[in-house]
C-alpha cells in the first residue's frame, strides 16, 4: 500500500519464474474459491502442476506463501500518487484502499496475513501498518509541501478513516462502497475544521 519505493522482488527467469507464477496464480484462485484458511500446500501444488516438495522447499509454509503473493498484489496495485490537495488525496486513498481490500481475494489475503502463527502474524501486521503508514505519510508530506497547515496526525487518519474501512470490509457491512469511502475521508476532514 505504500507510495514509497518498495524493494524489488527477485525476478528469476526460466523454469523458476514459471513455477513461481503458476504457484501465485494457484494461491489466488484457491483463496477466491475456498478462503485463505482452507489453502494447503498440497492443494496449491496440485493446482499449479508442481510437486508439493517444490512449494515446501521454496516457501516453507502457507503463511509465507500467502505473504509473498499478497506483496506481489500490492506491488501491482499501488495507490494513487498524492497531489498535495489533502482533501482530494485522502478521499482518493480511502476509495483505493477499499477497492484494494474488496478485490477478489483482497480481504482473504489480509486475513491470512494477520492470522498466521504468532511470530508471522506480528510480522504481517507490522508490514501492513508500515505500508499504510508510508502511504499516509506521503499524502501528509505532499499537503505540507503544498502549504497546508494544521494537518491531522497519522494516528487520527488511521483511527478515523482507515480502521473503519477495514472493519466494514472484514464484517461485510452493507453500503461500504466507493462513495462511502470518499465521504468517510471528507467528513473526517470537515469535522476538524
The answer to whether residues 49 and 96 belong to one domain is: no
Rounded average pLDDT over 116-121: 51
> What would the pLDDT profile of 148-167 be if each residue is shown by its tens digit?
999 999 999 999 999 999 89
Across all residues in the chain, what is the average pLDDT? 84
Cα–Cα distance, 58 to 9 (Å, whole number): 14
Model pLDDT, residue 4: 44
Residue 138 dihedral angles phi and psi, to the nearest 5°: -65, -40
Nearest Cα neighbor of 162 from 137, 145, 143 is 137
Residue 106: pLDDT band with limits 50, 70, 90? confident
Q: Is the pLDDT of residue 9 over 50?
A: no
The answer to whether residues 52 and 102 belong to one domain is: no
The answer to whether residues 91 and 180 belong to one domain is: yes
Q: Is the pLDDT of residue 184 over 80?
A: yes
Q: Is the pLDDT of residue 118 over 70?
A: no
The answer to whether residues 54 and 104 belong to one domain is: no
Tell which wins on pLDDT, 178 or 124: 178
Model pLDDT, residue 3: 42
Rounded average pLDDT over 30-46: 89
Cα–Cα distance, 153 to 170 (Å, whole number): 25
What is the share, in percent, of the chain residues with pLDDT greater than 70? 79
The answer to whether residues 52 and 139 belong to one domain is: no
Q: Is the pLDDT of residue 145 over 60?
A: yes
> What would the pLDDT profile of 43-72 be if each residue is shown by its tens digit?
999 999 999 999 999 999 887 888 788 777
CATH code where residue 155 lies: 1.10.357.10
CB-based contacts of 36: which residues, under 8 Å, 6+ apart?
A: 66, 108, 109, 111, 112, 115
Mapping DSSP to helix (H, G, I), strand (E, B) and coil, where does residue 77 land? coil
Q: Is the pLDDT of residue 112 over 90?
A: no
Cβ atoms of residues 94 and 153 within 8 Å: no
Cα–Cα distance, 87 to 188 (Å, whole number): 10
Model pLDDT, residue 114: 61
Instruction: Tell me the HSE value of 70 on the side-chain side, using a 13 A CA sphere.
Output: 26
Q: CA of 66: how far to CAs of 18, 38, 114, 125, 178, in Å? A: 18, 12, 11, 13, 27
Other CB atoms within a 10 A radius of the CB of residue 138 amount to 18
The answer to whether residues 136 and 47 belong to one domain is: no
Model pLDDT, residue 155: 96
The answer to whether residues 111 and 174 belong to one domain is: yes
The answer to whether residues 43 and 128 belong to one domain is: no
The answer to whether residues 146 and 108 belong to one domain is: yes
Q: Is the pLDDT of residue 18 over 70?
A: yes
- Domain with 43, as residue range(s), is 14-60
Cβ atoms of residues 24 and 69 within 8 Å: yes
Total number of domains constituting the chain: 2
Is the model's pTM score more than 0.75?
A: no
Q: Is the pLDDT of residue 2 over 60?
A: no
Residue 8: pLDDT band with limits 50, 70, 90? very low
Q: Which residue has the cell 505504500?
A: 2
Amino acid at each position: 500500500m505504500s507510495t514509497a519505493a518498495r524493494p524489488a522482488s527477485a525476478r528469476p527467469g526460466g523454469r523458476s519464474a514459471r513455477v513461481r507464477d503458476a504457484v501465485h496464480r494457484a494461491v489466488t484462485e484457491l483463496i477466491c474459491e475456498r478462503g485463505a484458511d482452507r489453502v494447503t500446500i498440497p492443494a496449491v501444488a496440485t493446482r499449479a502442476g508442481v510437486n508439493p516438495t517444490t512449494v515446501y522447499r521454496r516457501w516453507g509454509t502457507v503463511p509465507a506463501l500467502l505473504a509473498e503473493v499478497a506483496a506481489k498484489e500490492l506491488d501491482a496495485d499501488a495507490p494513487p500518487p498524492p497531489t498535495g490537495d489533502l482533501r482530494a488525496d485522502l478521499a482518493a486513498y480511502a476509495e483505493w484502499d477499499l477497492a484494494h481490500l474488496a478485490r477478489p481475494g483482497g480481504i482473504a489475503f489480509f486475513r491470512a496475513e494477520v492470522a498466521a502463527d504468532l511470530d508471522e502474524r506480528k510480522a504481517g501486521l507490522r508490514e501492513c501498518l508500515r505500508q499504510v503508514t508510508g502511504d499516509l505519510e506521503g499524502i501528509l508530506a505532499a499537503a505540507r509541501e503544498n502549504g497546508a497547515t494544521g494537518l491531522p496526525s497519522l494516528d487520527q487518519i488511521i483511527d478515523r478513516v482507515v480502521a473503519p474501512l477495514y472493519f466494514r470490509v472484514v464484517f461485510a457491512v452493507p453500503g461500504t462502497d466507493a462513495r462511502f469511502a470518499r465521504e468517510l475521508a471528507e467528513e473526517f476532514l470537515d469535522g476538524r475544521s
